[in-house]
Amino acid sequence: MASHNTPEFTILHDSPTDDPGVPCPASTASFWHSEPSAFLHSHRTTPTLPAAVKTVIIGSGIAGSMTFHHLHNTLTQYQLGPTLMLEARNTCYGATGRNGGHCRPSPYQNGFFEEYCAAWGPSETLTRIRFELLNLQLVREYVRRYQVDCEFVEIPTADVYYEKPALEIARKNLAAVHKFAPEIARKCRLVTDEAEEGRRELRDVLRTPTAKGAVVFEAAKLWPYKLVEAILERAVKEQGLNLQTETLVEAIRRKRNRWEVQTSRGTVLAERVIVAANAHTGHILPQFRGWIYPVRGQMSALTPPTTLLTKPLTHTYILIRDDRRKSDYLIQRPQPSCQLMLGGGRQHEDAEGVLMNDDNISLNVAKYLRTAISGYFANEIGYLSDNVPTKSSPAPGTRKSSDLRESFIERFRNLAVSAGHDAWDAAEGAGMYSQLAASQDFHHRRLSQPSFTIPLPNECHAEYEWSGVMGFSRDEKPFVGRVPAVSSYHARRLGIPEMQDTEGLWVIAGFEGHGMALTTGSAKKLAEMVKTDVEGGRWDEGVKGVQQEWFPRGFMSTPERIGLGDEQLDDEDPEVILLDGADGEPDLDKSNDKVQEDEWVVVGTYEEEAGTAKRNKA
């Protein structure tokens, strides 16, 4: 049943309903982790876990860290109480530590404004846009107030379109924004190749001479890990946060009027638990399976061609060909290093990236990213392949390295690529043969393939290549608020544990790879919800009401959004816009008549989940 707050349409993707599992114990090496905080790395504030606290936050990325920041600023010291943050791996080793480095609100929703208006209504869609703009302001204010050294730079950004049909959709959406909110539309500027002035800007300013057009507006770029590092160092050193890394949450259970959180290192009792686990939310909270699901992204830190090294880019980019949902994204780091931080290539990924592991990368995507720059920025020169280096003469735009291990890994990577590996483990410098290793002709194929160290034409040298798992939402909106309860009826219907009482259990997740433009404000609102709840009010007060405010009502974590509304109305379905070529309504009704005997939400161990992940890999 559709919520009474939603318009007549609801966007639903045909999303996987499997348990997303726990984070992989090992992961690929992200560039953003190349300068780790000595204080936060493998940090445990206390040698053992406390027996009881007032607040537990699960997850140490931007959502978890900003949630603590806003809770600390919003609640009294007594209301917040002792707070414990649990992280399955190392500090900020999830999606935030692996993203593209953008903080990028979209005033026209990247060309999806009309679609979102049809789904949610113009008022809600405009509230979302204003909310994204507010997030940029909140991040800016935090960085300036606390003088955070995280390479935060406000900079113009461009959605660059290389195909005419996609550009026309963007033009149409800009016109629609102007109709409803001209003050927002004026934040965008359309540039096309239809006049000499536009062609000159595409060629000389944006450096994209083959593009059909672009939409330019203001955004920012940053080193995301260093922002989280600043928040958490301050939280632990000055604000009383107890951070425990490498502590996997295995189960949660309601025990009288508190929550029992079972971890790999012991059990903790808490009055409230906030789940900021993003892609892994459905593992801890089974009612979100199928509503928040994992999508793997892949990133690279590339040595720029000579012309982009000597004259860096002046914008950040979303680079779009025919499919707006599978665009690539780019920022360039400051001088002198100037790495091109390029991500995307999902069309070359298995299952289009609907995966849950970040312990390897796709070689197909890696090859695509290393060679994509020349296609987008056609006039640049000085690539790795333009002048194959000798031992005494490195190619323009590249740097020598005396690190023998790095040299060996790079040579082995070239061998691995030529040998037909399915994936490359960038952290360990080892090829991953997901299917090839099991085949009988494995050794023959490995030895029969030639080994090449000559780079491909117009290929950038990859200094780092890594993957990360994002939490996508089935209806393209994050979930913020109280975790919906699961009645015995819905527990039997869905085959998940019953959870009748969710008082004190909160969620902030499902940011669709757009978290830097959504999480800070979402954390601020969640803190306000918690305070209202603590003081005896309705936690959803002011959001579900008639009065529209700064926080999008559609982001609320309501039972109706995840199919847990009134039982007598379960057969009523909203009119659905199915995306991604789905030819029928997604069926989340996986009935299971076995009644659960308790309220444990058991979420397994690394060993069990590693096996499950391998079996389920597409």
pLDDT tens profile 269-321: 999 999 999 999 999 999 999 999 999 999 999 999 999 999 999 999 999 99
User: Do the domain assignments include residue 478?
Assistant: yes
Sign of the torsion formed by the C-alpha atoms of 140, 141, 142 and 147: positive
**Quick one: average pLDDT of 207-234?**
98
**Quick one: average pLDDT of 23-27?**
93
pLDDT band at 457 (very low <50, low <70, confident <90, very high): confident
User: Do the domain assignments include residue 36?
Assistant: yes
pLDDT tens string 339-363: 999 999 998 987 766 777 899 999 9
User: Do the domain assignments include residue 284?
Assistant: yes
Sign of the torsion formed by the C-alpha atoms of 302, 308, 312 and 314: negative
User: Do the domain assignments include residue 130?
Assistant: no
Residue 251: its pLDDT value, please?
86
Residue 566: its pLDDT value, please?
74
Nearest to 258 by CA among 503, 422, 510, 51: 503
% of the chain exceeding 90 in pLDDT: 70
Residue 506 near residue 481 (C-beta atoms within 8 A): yes
* Helical H segments across 17-152, by residue range: 62-74, 77-80, 113-120, 122-145
What is the CATH classification number for the domain harbouring 577? 3.50.50.60
| pLDDT(450) > 60 | no
User: Do the domain assignments include residue 368?
Assistant: no
User: Do the domain assignments include residue 342?
Assistant: no
Residue 409: its pLDDT value, please?
46
Helices 122-145 and 519-534: crossing angle in degrees, nearest 10, is 90
Region for residue 367 given its phi and psi (left: phi exceeds 0; alpha: psi -120 to 50; beta: otherwise): alpha
Residue 483: its pLDDT value, please?
97
Residue 56: its pLDDT value, please?
99
Residue 584: its pLDDT value, please?
37
pLDDT band at 11 (very low <50, low <70, confident <90, very high): low
Residue 32: its pLDDT value, please?
98
Residue 554: its pLDDT value, please?
95
pLDDT band at 14 (very low <50, low <70, confident <90, very high): low
Longest Cα separation, the chain: 77
User: Do the domain assignments include residue 446?
Assistant: no
pLDDT tens string 555-576: 999 999 999 987 644 444 444 4
E strand map for 397-540: 423-425, 430-432, 462-473, 479-482, 505-509
Owning domain of residue 28? 9-99+225-291+474-616
User: Do the domain assignments include residue 270?
Assistant: yes
| pLDDT(15) > 60 | yes
3-class DSSP string for 216-283: EEEEEECCHHHHHHHHHHHHHHHCCEEEECCCCEEEEEEECCEEEEEECCEEEEEEEEEECCHHHHHH
Residue-wise over 336-369: b if at least 16 C-beta within 10 A, else e?
A: eebbbbbbbbbbbbbeebbbbbbbbbbbbbbbbb
Q: How many domains does the chain have?
A: 1
Give how far the C-alpha of residue 136 lies from the chain's centroid of Cα atoms, to the nearest Å: 16
Q: What is the pTM of this model?
A: 0.81
Residue 178 has which token pair? 């102007």
Residue 452: its pLDDT value, please?
40
Edge-to-edge strands, sheet with 361-362: 361-362, 423-425, 430-432
What are the Cα distances from residue 597, in Å, to 94, 288, 289, 494?
Answer: 33, 20, 21, 15
Residue 484: its pLDDT value, please?
96
| pLDDT(460) > 60 | yes
pLDDT band at 447 (very low <50, low <70, confident <90, very high): very low
| pLDDT(396) > 80 | no
